[in-house]
Amino acid sequence: MWYRGYLENGQKVWIQAYNVTTKVTNSESATSKLGRILNTSANIYPTLGVGKTAFTAGTKYTDKVFYIKKQATYNGTLYYLISTIASSTTGVIGWVKANDMWAQNHVAVDHNSKTFYLKGSGWAYAHAWGAGQDTIYKDLTEFKNQKFTVNLTEKVGDAIWYRGYLENGQKVWIQAYNVTSTQPIKETSTSKLGRVLTTSANIYPTLGVGRTAFTAGTKYTDKVFYIKKQATYNGTLYYLISTVASSTTGVIGWVKASDMWAQNHVAVDHNVKNFYLKGTGWAYAHAWGAGQDAIYKDLSSFKGQLFEVNLTEKVGDAIWYRGYLENGQKVWIQAYNVNTTYQNNTNYSLTLSEALAIQMKANPQTDKYRNEPAYVSTDSVNITGTVNANVNLRTSASLKDNSNVSTTISSGTTFRIIGTVQGDSFNGSTKWYKIQYNSKTLYVHSTLVNITSAVTESALYVRDSGSYESHIYDTVSKGTSLIVLDVGNEWLKIQYTTWRNATSSDVSYYLNPKNFVNDEKLRFQFLDLSKSSSVSASVLNTFLSGKGTLNNMGQAFIDAGKKYNVNEIYLLSHALLETGQGTSPLAKGYSYNGVTVYNMYGIGAYDGTALTSGAKYAYEHGWTTPYIAIVEGAKFIAEQYIHSSNNQNTLYKMRWNPEYMSRYGGASHQYATDIGWAVKQIDSIYNIYRQLDSYTLYFDIPTYK
């Protein structure tokens, strides 16, 4: 017998009767397993035995765990009924051949509450024995040591699985292998500095291993340590101390927090700052240093010195600075022990070379060469000499015999010297003067002659050496008497005045701010003179003691500063310089038109007529007492310089006026022609600031493009 018909896949076929039966073999039974479909081509049968409704698992139903609460044998083949929940009626997907699945027995162990701690290994799933699609967290390292609160324990195969809540509230399943019931040492990062309080405090190289502990002793007390890690062990907080800012390098060990004094430690900035030492406190090798960290225990000898800072940190509520002292020593000093400085840079639209060229046209003066000789050409100088005894005048510079003696002159006879020559030695010298006497050119040995006068016969350049290529100090007019130091054949060596034309290199040195900005004292020429120093009258009076009329006038300078917004220490320094320490006639009081007047800043006192012109200015402005002269003289400085349109608010700007150079390309409204004027004003200012316990400095630094 043969049958023609259709298979479940729709294929029409003939099959012999021997190979078919009218009975369906289907034996179902309850079970409890979890299972995973092994491959995407596995068939899933919504109805067991009805092949035409089957579908393949695909990626949707693979790499995922299912509940199996029923199994069945159909035509001798075992099938599992898979479901998304623990039910054989709800959440059912269909039947899958057992050999297309990996299934393990699944039993509930208990619903007891348990507390575990994550090891940081394994994954966390939405179901016990989860697969890839069930994953909630594929990396638990960030949860290491966190508490895991369990409320359900199940067994899958031989493995125990826990369902519970992470610290972030997420419900997950985690295999037992990845948790521990032992409370871990919970380490966290921190940033502190700390000191061990007692020599008996224990230090643990390994936290929890007491046998390796050692006591701090004197080696590890009275010293500051970095703390970059802390840990809680058995409910006690510990700090990991290190000699460097690291939790891995320089580590000493763990110390109970209760055995330490620790404060939060944060970096504020790495900005470069300049401060001045008060001379108080200590200097340390570390911020918040203790006794063993001290480098200097007495900073009084460093008072007023520049402290160049490159790192600022905060320890607790205190600011600490790391930087270099003037001797090059790197130290940490607490902010309380330094005085603050602020720096502003004013930019100008000309180069330093352009500024130098402008200044060289303004006849800059210097006293640098005041003790040096000068030189003028002998061509236009009438040099007169005389002798103190009877002397032979010769026709040549020779002493071989007297055949060349032209005449003999007596003591006091004068003649004109027109040059020098080398001749026979006399009195250890071979220098002879070539002279004119009675219309004759004759010679006389230089050691026998005294020069009585040297008068210019025309305007002459005064130079720094006997060369026409040398620097010109000045120009002397016709009829100027010169003080002769030596007579040469072409050049006359003379003694000259204090003030002379400065060289280009001289001017460049004083004009360039970079030569002074890093000098603790000389940078005071950039001090903003519109800012008060808050100095007391008693401190000023200390400097004014014995200074003539300025004695005890400290309050007057303070009043002047407040009234016209001018730094009072600068006013005092200016007055001391202009009045010769308070002793000049204008400081003592000078009668003008029958009225005694005072001029403390040299205002209106022009060269050549300083006394009368300075007195006239004081008279016209009513400066009839030292107090009035100090206070109201400050008005001129404030209005004409410090608060003027040229913004000449520093000694440097008062001298060089870079604002005017930048705007108009010329030199004008400069307080002095002396190239060193700004620097010379500094001594008193600097020394007074060094006496103050606390102050703030404001510097305004010119910057050329």
pLDDT score of 49: 86
State the average pLDDT over residues 551-566: 96
pLDDT of 469 strictly over 70: yes
- Write phi, then psi, for 542 (nearest 5 degrees): -60, -40
State the average pLDDT over residues 109-137: 96
pLDDT of 468 strictly over 60: yes
pLDDT score of 535: 87
527 DSSP assignment: B
- The H or E element that residue 606 is part of is none
Class of domain 270-346: mainly beta
Residues 681 and 324: beta-carbon distance below 8 Å: no
The packing angle between helices 504-511 and 352-360, to 10°, is 130
Starting at the edge strand found earlier in the chain, the sheet holding 414-426 runs: 405-409, 391-394, 440-445, 429-437, 414-426, 381-386, 450-456
What architecture is domain 111-180?
Roll (2.30)
The burial of 492, by beta-carbon neighbours within 10 Å (0-12 exposed, 13-18 middle, 19 or more buried), is given as: buried
- Write phi, then psi, for 121 (nearest 5 degrees): -105, 170
pLDDT score of 79: 97
CA nearest neighbour of 426 among 450, 445, 409: 445
pLDDT score of 487: 92
Q: What is the pLDDT of residues 664-705, one digit of tens each?
A: 999 999 989 999 999 998 998 998 888 777 778 899 999 999
CA nearest neighbour of 556 among 546, 419, 566, 233: 566
Q: How confident is the model at residue 636 (pLDDT cuts 50, 70, 90)?
A: very high
pLDDT of 26 strictly over 70: no
Q: What is the pLDDT of residues 577-635, one digit of tens each?
A: 899 999 999 999 999 999 999 999 999 988 789 999 999 999 999 999 999 999 999 99
pLDDT of 186 strictly over 90: no
**Residue 119 Cα distances to 149, 159, 183, 190, 509, angstroms:** 14, 17, 11, 22, 70
CA nearest neighbour of 174 among 165, 184, 186, 185: 165
CA nearest neighbour of 124 among 110, 135, 111: 135
According to DSSP, the residues that pair with 276 across neighbouring strands are 306, 339
According to DSSP, the residues that pair with 535 across neighbouring strands are none
The packing angle between helices 554-564 and 537-544, to 10°, is 130
Sequence letter at residue 425: S
State the average pLDDT over residues 648-668: 97
State the average pLDDT over residues 634-659: 95
Q: What is the pLDDT of residues 307-356, one digit of tens each?
A: 999 999 999 999 999 999 999 999 999 999 998 888 889 999 999 999 99
Residues 476 and 666: beta-carbon distance below 8 Å: no
Whether the domain at 24-107 and the domain at 507-704 fall into the same CATH topology: no
pLDDT score of 607: 75
- Provide the residue ranges of all domains of the chain, joining segments of one domain with +: 24-107, 111-180, 186-266, 270-346, 369-501, 507-704
pLDDT score of 520: 87
pLDDT of 24 strictly over 60: no
Q: What is the pLDDT of residues 483-512, one digit of tens each?
A: 999 998 899 999 999 999 999 999 999 999
Is the model's pTM score more than 0.85? no
Q: What is the pLDDT of residues 57-69, one digit of tens each?
A: 999 999 999 999 9
State the average pLDDT over residues 125-141: 97
The CATH classification number of 507-704 equals 1.10.530.10
Collapsing DSSP states into helix, strand and coil, what is residue 618?
Answer: helix
Q: How far is CA 296 from the centre of its chain?
A: 22
The CATH classification number of 24-107 equals 2.30.30.170
Q: How confident is the model at residue 214 (pLDDT cuts 50, 70, 90)?
A: very high
pLDDT score of 23: 58
CATH assignment of 186-266, among 3.40.50.920, 3.40.190.10, 2.30.30.170, 3.40.50.800: 2.30.30.170
Distance between CA 116 and CA 181 in Å, rounded?
5
Distance between CA 36 and CA 57 in Å, rounded?
11
* Better pLDDT: 572 or 27: 572
Distance between CA 454 and CA 378 in Å, rounded?
10
Distance between CA 107 and CA 129 in Å, rounded?
12
